[in-house]
Amino acid sequence: MARDRNRLRDFQEALALRLRQAAELPQRQSRLAVNVGDKGYLLDLDDVSEVAPVGEVTPVPLTQPWFLGVTNVRGSLYAVSDFASWLGIHVTSDIGARRLILLGQRLGKLRAGLVVTRVVGLRLLDEMRAHDAPLSKGWEGASWLDRDGVTWIEVDLERLASDAEFLQVVR
């Protein structure tokens, strides 16, 4: 019995040591990389609740052309905007690659989704270097350059979701 207690105590001590060591390691910050037309954007995963294929979207009359309408996702209605169209980017790529990015609950009760041209995958910020690209929009964050020389712009989805122009969907 004492031997079992010693093994349990040794296991707990080893586990506690590994947890302390893991907490001391630098956190690797990852972002969801998406293409909007030929531009690369990075989205904070804390601000994204889901990535889904673009389903049926019901148009809303008398709205901006970039506002696609509303869609039902598991019983909740989401306002859907075409990010490329809102940015004034003409997209000719495969429509099947488009994805709907649903904004996360960290952004409050806003139920909105952005259609992007393509989801590229995760990118680690510590594998990129800061880039001094000019940022012209209030919702644009830092600019990064990856190993392949591709520029990525971070999107502050909270700022985007409160941008007056973005919220003005009525014509």
What pLDDT, in 10s, does the model give residues 125-170? 999 999 887 788 889 999 999 999 999 999 999 999 989 999 999 9
What is the average per-residue pLDDT within 73-99? 88
What is the average pLDDT score of the chain?
87
Residue 11 confidence (pLDDT): 73
CB-based contact 37:91 (threshold 8 Å): yes
* Nearest residue to 79 via CA among 120, 109, 118, 53: 109
Phi, psi of 145, rounded to the nearest 5 degrees: -120, 125
Residue 91 confidence (pLDDT): 79
Q: pTM of the prediction?
A: 0.82
What is the average per-residue pLDDT within 1-28? 68
What's the Rg (C-alpha) of the chain? 21
Q: Residue 93: which pLDDT band, with cuts at 50, 70 and 90? A: low
Beta-strand (E) ranges in 60-124? Answer: 67-73, 76-82, 99-103, 112-116, 118-124
Determine how many CB atoms are found less than 10 A away from the CB of residue 120.
Answer: 16
